[in-house]
Structure formats: structure tokens, C-alpha cells
Amino acid sequence: MIKISNTIKDSVAAGLASLISGIILWLIQTNTTGQIITWWLVLLVALWIGAFVYILIYVIRCKSLGITRILASSLKGDGSTSAYMKSANSSICFVGIAAGKWADKADELEKTIRKICSLNTGFIKFLLLNPDSLAAKKLSLAGSQNADHVGDKIKKSILSMNKIIERLSKDYPEALNRFEIKLYDQMPVFRLAIIDNRKAYFCFYQLGCEGNNLKQFIIKPKFNDVNSQNIFNSMAEYFDCLWNAPSTIPYEIK
């Protein structure tokens, strides 16, 4: 059985909407005394209606997947690391390369760790690329940098986080158990931040594109719907699988 892609289906639906609306407008024109509607206006309106239907179907499909918004920046607004930390109340699960934007905002990160890890059920988990892995070296060379470039960035971020936990452990000894870093060993495909298990920020990595310029999808779960196409649970399951993978090693915070 031949499967037809959603793009083709959506295009056909939009085309039919254009055709039907064009026919209706043309019939109205031919049955009206005087030429009120010209043929080019009929064509223009029909094309507009087709485009509107196509966009509407696209938005509905995105909503069914759990995608509620698309953000153009990782530096400001809802897509910034500061916004992640501000909105988080009970948990953060992050997978990325170096978490440089988190480490650069050390003061905000420290406040966030205090807020979340002081709770009995609070936790923060960071999955970063192993700085000594072959993947880190390949990523450096692919970006026309020296082989240790990416690894050094990851080590710098880990060192910054280590210093924060070292300070906090005096007042919050439990923070050592509730803030964890693990290192994975595979080429990074996307960046993911799950906040309070109620919202996910997701984007694909692109070679040669700065992380600040990556478009992000905001994904929200749809509860109590076993037939849902929502991809939030798949994202959460991916994180758990990578977190518990035999090749993923824990970093011991000192």
C-alpha cells in the first residue's frame, strides 16, 4: 500500500480549497449583473484561501504533536537560558554539548540550583558531551577548530558548575545528590531542555550555525491521551535512555 506524505495531503487539501473557492466566486460573478469581480481577483482570492488552509492545517498538525511555539533566538525572550531558569520550579533535564550559556550565567544558575535542589523532590540533570570523546574531537574539526576546542569548552562549563556546587554544598549538602552531571559519548544531534516535566525546549544542531541562532520548538505534553501523537513523552524517554545508557558516565562533582 502506497503511503502519501502529509505534505502532499496538505497541498491537495489547499489546492481543492483554492479550486472550490475560485469556482464559487466565479459563479457569483457570472450570476451577478455587471462585472463586479474580475478573473484576476478571483484567482488572487482563491490562492489566498488555499494558502490560508495550508497554514491552518500545518498549525493543527504542530499542535497535535505538542508544538505550541517556534522561537527564533536562544539569547532573549522565552528561548533564553535565563527564561528556562526563571520558569523552573522543581526540575530541569538538559542535554546538549557544553551548556555554555548556563555556565556563563553562573549567578542565575546558582540561584536556580538553590531554589530547586533545596526541595525534597527537586532535581537537576545535565547531559553533556564527553570532552575526551572522539565525537568532541570530530565536532571541533568539523568547525575548522583545533581538535580540543569543543572539549575545552565542555571542561570550562563543568568547572564553573563544579565551583557553584562546591559553594552550595556548605549550606545545602543535599545539593550534591540533587544536581547531577553525566557525559555521553555520541555525536550530538539536538539540544533539549525539559522544565518541570511540563514543557520542553527542543532544537536541532546545525553545523556552522551558532547555538544562539538555532530555532527552538516549545513542546508541551498532552496528558491522559494514549492515542496522542504528542512527542513530549518521546523526548523525555530519549533523555532517560541516554542518561541510563552504559556508555554514559557520571561526572563526580568534587
User: pLDDT-derived band of residue 200, with 50, 70 and 90 as boundaries?
Assistant: very high
pLDDT at 98 over 80: yes
Mean pLDDT of 72-94: 85
When mean pLDDT is compared over 47-56, 81-90, 205-214, 220-229, the highest value belongs to 81-90
- Give Rg (Cα) of the chain: 25
Task: Supply the pTM of this predicted model.
Answer: 0.75
Mean pLDDT of 63-79: 72
**Across the strands, what pairs with 250?**
182
The pLDDT value given to residue 190: 87
Residue with more model confidence, 163 or 21: 163
Helix, strand, coil share (%) of the chain residues, nearest 5? 50, 15, 30
pLDDT one-digit tens code per residue, 3-53: 445 566 656 655 665 666 666 655 666 665 555 556 566 666 666 666 666
pLDDT one-digit tens code per residue, 150-159: 999 999 999 9
Mean pLDDT of 106-115: 92
Average pLDDT, the chain: 79
pLDDT one-digit tens code per residue, 218-251: 888 876 655 566 788 888 889 999 999 999 999 9
The pLDDT value given to residue 3: 44
The pLDDT value given to residue 50: 66
Region at 233 (left for phi over 0; alpha for psi -120 to 50; beta for the rest) = alpha
Q: Which domains does the chain have, with CATH numbers?
A: 6-65 (no CATH), 69-251 (3.30.870.10)
What percentage of the chain exceeds 90 in pLDDT?
33
Mean pLDDT of 176-196: 91
Residues 6+ apart with CB under 8 A from 109: 85, 102, 103, 161, 164
What percentage of the chain exceeds 70 in pLDDT?
66
Mean pLDDT of 115-137: 92
Are the C-beta atoms of 219 and 199 separated by less than 8 Å? yes
Torsion, Cα 238 244 248 251, to 10 degrees, reads 120
